[in-house]
Amino acid sequence: MKEETRRAIASTAAARINKKSISSIYSYDQKKHTPVSCDKDGDMYDYGSKAFVSKSGSDLFHYGTHAHINLSIDGDRFSGYDYDSKHHFVGNVNGSSIQIYDHGEHKYFNYSA
């Protein structure tokens, strides 16, 4: 899946699980911070991709990729499906650390919020 999609998932999952807004997300894979405006419900604007990501029920719609993202949260874990890449993902949030396993890329991606 695209980096902007993983970034949206990481930001939204962390905001919902930690019940607090997020103003930036750091990608260890990309080695950079990206400013975001993500409220605790999961509505966000990603300044890196210049795109809104809106909450649609428990799911998301990414206006940059024009695709829905299924996102389910259970405690500190999350899982879902990206309709743009047509791949599943799973992950967990531990404080400000977020880890996503992207089934399309067959690897883990780490973020910090």
* Backbone conformation region of residue 106, classed left if phi is above 0, alpha if psi is from -120 to 50, else beta: left
pTM of the model: 0.95
Q: Quick one: tokens of 22? A: 């997020």
CB atoms near residue 17 (< 10 Å): 20
Distance in angstroms (rounded) separating the CA atoms of residues 107 and 113: 20
Note down pLDDT in tens along the chain; length 113 residues. Answer: 999 999 999 999 999 999 999 999 999 999 999 999 999 888 999 999 999 999 887 789 999 999 999 999 999 999 999 999 999 999 999 999 999 999 999 999 999 99
Q: How far is the C-alpha of 98 from the C-alpha of 39, rounded, in Å?
A: 16
Which of 110, 87, 96 lies closest to 14, judged by CA?
96
